[in-house]
Structure 1
Amino acid sequence: MSEERFGDAFAALSRILDPSDPAYQLALRAYCLAELTEAAVRAGRADTMRDILREVEPLAASTPSPALHIGLRYARAVLAPNEEAEKRFTAALRADLSGWPAERGRLHLAFGEWLRRQRRAAESRSHLRTARETFDALGMAAWVSAHDGSCAARGSRARTGTRTRGKSSPRTS
């Protein structure tokens, strides 16, 4: 998660989209939209990201690339004004994300965080829980850490590690 250096992450990822930059990667630009969007928002560069989206949007009409469409739906939801965000998150989650569990988890996390910011903590819990379970299952430690922060912010404890149910460990005398 860029170790909280979101401005640096945004600058580095933006290079992939710039045809004049040696890091330009035509094929990879579809795969970094979610990461670029998150870095932009956290770095205070949401307006710049909206400009980038306007440049990338025409590609969606000419390619069935699942990565591009998933990234665009994520970016549209995260960048949407509050009055449109819920509709966009819901639409993004309704899309076929089978085979894309990390992206589904990321959407649940972003939606849960948005709901929490809207003071809708009860509604946020299921999305945050789903995100955490997804990231746990995928072994995505950085995303689990991000979710732990969301849990702490809403006043609930996040699970860490695995628990043994029913038996306590034996004591030695």
Structure 2
Amino acid sequence: MERTGVNLEMTDPAQLRAAAEIPELGIEEVDASAAPTVCQLYKEIWADGGGRSGWSAGQWEKELSPKEIRTWVANVADRPVGFAEVGWQRNGHVVIVVIGVIPEFQGRGIGGDFVSRITALAWRPPTTRVWLWTVPDEHPHTVPNYLSRGFRVTDRGNEAD
């Protein structure tokens, strides 16, 4: 199945327009041992069964193990409500591979704050570009959230699922 997506990027940390901070939102960097939590969160966030919904915790552990991959879990009142997988590339580029919040916590500003915090972490030197690929129809606020944070569309294209 092919999905039409959109590439977005920032090329300067000054482009980041942070969302309002949500005081109850905490983020914690985790390692590959958090794969069962990440696996469950992915299934909750993308309940339609697409993408990596069929992955096992073992597949997630392998995905999150390389040293250039860093992962954060978003928590509200000690409950995991989202996660972000971020990859550091050798050319100074950083890709937000996956980021999302479970549906029960969407619409509260948590996604905007989470994207803001993860993007700020991605801009730690020697980063020269932060980018991502997303599917606009996954959620109506997906692309508007990234645009509001300062990302700009670079092109549209397909990804083979």
Tell me if TM exceeds 0.5: no
Q: TM-score, normalised by structure 1?
A: 0.30
- Look at both structures and tell me which one has the larger radius of gyration over its CA atoms: 1
More RCO (CA 8 Å, sep 6+) = 2
